[in-house]
């Protein structure tokens, strides 16, 4: 999978992929990443990539033309069109990034082109002409799109085959299909008793079915308490069984 990132700060992206578990995705060739600086495609001695907004107001807006020239160079090098590798723009106006879409992106052989905005944003004409999807991390504003891009890269990289030591690890992640899109259950490790707090006996039983039942019950309870909207969504999708409903009713 190839990922191209349009950013004014390529060093932020490059340094990010050199650390952590997801580095394996790049070391093993599961993902290939290239950063592109739109300043390299700007005219003039100062390589200007921004200007004042029409209508006045604070801040600057990224110019459309350097971004368009940068994108054209990416398309030419990739020898593909916008439909095989979509252009994703990270913006507060975008849809919230979720695990379902991360899984879809991770399964794409063609990867994506990521656009990291800066300043007050990007000229809307470029967005309307070229952007295929806008993504947000939540209801807050960052200084630029690099942090959301790194979050996307991390989430997609860890789903590549062989990146995680245990291939079943991501199947038990919160929001995963194996968990009906619910939150994961709590986790415990050694020692069995820490500061007078014991590990739940169910996890020490060695009884796989009993452990699975406990984890499902905990997942349901935690989701109902923290993210009831996910319970509603799972119900609509037919992913909550009659047994699940009894657990939810008993703990309500």
Single residue among 128, 157, 186 that ends a domain in this structure: 157
Dihedral sign, CA of 175, 181, 182, 188?
negative
Is residue 251 over pLDDT 80?
A: no
Regarding predicted confidence, which is higher, 38 or 81?
38
Q: Are 17 and 153 in contact (CB under 8 A)?
A: yes
Written as one string, the DSSP assignment of 7-59 is -S-HHHHHHHTTSSTTHHHHHTTS-EEEEE-GGGG--TTTT--EEPPTT--SS
For residue 94, give the nearest of 57, 42, 63, 131 by alpha carbon: 131
The whole-number pLDDT of residue 176 equals 80
Same domain for 103 and 227, yes or no, is no
Distance CA 146, CA 225 (A): 32
The whole-number pLDDT of residue 7 equals 98
> Is residue 166 a part of any domain in this protein?
no
Is residue 118 over pLDDT 80?
A: yes
State whether residue 193 is helix, strand or coil. strand
The CB density around residue 106, as the number of other CB atoms within 10 Å, is 21
Cis-peptide, bond into residue 235, ω within 30° of zero: no
Same domain for 148 and 185, yes or no, is no
pLDDT average, residue stretch 127-135: 97
The full length of the chain comes to 252
List 4, 75, 118, 158, catalytic entry: 158
The whole-number pLDDT of residue 171 equals 60
Instruction: Name the least confident of 162-166, 201-205, 246-250.
Output: 162-166
Q: Classify each residue of 23-54 as buried b or exposed e, where b means 16 or more C-beta atoms within 10 Å of its C-beta.
A: ebbbeeebbebebbbbeebbeeeeeebbeeee
The whole-number pLDDT of residue 71 equals 97
pLDDT average, residue stretch 142-166: 92
pLDDT average, residue stretch 193-212: 96
The whole-number pLDDT of residue 82 equals 65
CATH number at 128 reads 3.40.1280.10
For residue 16, give the nearest of 148, 139, 169, 121 by alpha carbon: 148
Single residue among 88, 123, 157 that ends a domain in this structure: 157
Tens of pLDDT along 159-186?
999 898 665 666 667 788 777 899 999 9
CATH number at 217 reads 1.10.1270.20
List 80, 120, 154, 213, catalytic entry: 120
The whole-number pLDDT of residue 166 equals 61
Q: Are 8 and 118 in contact (CB under 8 A)?
A: yes
Is residue 123 over pLDDT 80?
A: yes
Range of the domain at 222: 174-250
Query: Does residue 173 have an active-site annotation?
Result: yes
Q: Give percent of the chain with pLDDT exceeding 70.
A: 95
pTM score, whole prediction: 0.88
Is residue 73 over pLDDT 70?
A: yes
* Paired tokens of 49: 């990539």
Is residue 221 over pLDDT 70?
A: yes
Single residue among 157, 190, 225 that ends a domain in this structure: 157
List 78, 86, 92, 235, catalytic entry: 92
Query: Does residue 120 have an active-site annotation?
Result: yes
State whether residue 110 is helix, strand or coil. coil
Is residue 68 over pLDDT 70?
A: yes
124's enclosing H/E stretch is helix 124-130
Same domain for 86 and 209, yes or no, is no
The whole-number pLDDT of residue 142 equals 94
Tell me how many domains the chain contains: 2
Same domain for 216 and 93, yes or no, is no
> Is residue 89 a part of any domain in this protein?
yes
Distance CA 59, CA 62 (A): 10
Same domain for 180 and 238, yes or no, is yes
Tens of pLDDT along 23-37?
999 999 999 999 999
> Is residue 167 a part of any domain in this protein?
no
Distance CA 233, CA 247 (A): 17
> Is residue 169 a part of any domain in this protein?
no
List 4, 146, 173, 217, catalytic entry: 173
Is residue 250 over pLDDT 80?
A: yes
> Is residue 35 a part of any domain in this protein?
yes
pLDDT average, residue stretch 135-161: 95
């Amino acid at each position: 999978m190839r990922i191209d990132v349009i950013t004014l700060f390529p060093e932020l992206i490059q340094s990010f992929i050199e650390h952590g578990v997801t580095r394996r995705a790049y070391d093993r060739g599961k993902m290939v990443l290239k950063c592109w600086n739109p300043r390299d495609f700007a005219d003039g001695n100062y390589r200007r990539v921004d200007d004042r907004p029409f209508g006045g107001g604070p801040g600057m807006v990224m110019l459309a033309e350097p971004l368009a020239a940068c994108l054209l160079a990416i398309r030419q090098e990739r020898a593909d069109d916008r439909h095989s590798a979509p252009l994703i723009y990270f913006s507060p106006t975008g849809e919230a990034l979720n695990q379902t879409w991360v899984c879809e992106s991770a399964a794409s052989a063609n990867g994506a082109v990521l656009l990291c905005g800066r300043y007050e944003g990007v000229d809307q004409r470029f967005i309307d002409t070229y952007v295929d999807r806008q993504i947000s991390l939540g209801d807050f504003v960052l200084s630029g799109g690099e942090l959301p891009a790194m979050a996307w890269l991390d989430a997609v990289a860890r789903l590549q085959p062989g990146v995680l030591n245990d291939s079943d690890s991501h199947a038990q992640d919160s929001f995963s299909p194996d968990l009906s899109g619910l939150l994961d259950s709590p986790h415990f490790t050694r020692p069995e008793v820490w500061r007078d707090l014991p590990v739940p006996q169910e996890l020490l039983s060695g009884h796989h079915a009993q452990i699975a039942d406990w984890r499902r019950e905990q997942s349901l309870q935690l989701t109902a308490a923290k993210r009831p909207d996910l319970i509603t969504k799972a119900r609509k999708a037919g992913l909550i069984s009659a047994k699940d409903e009894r657990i939810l009713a008993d703990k309500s």
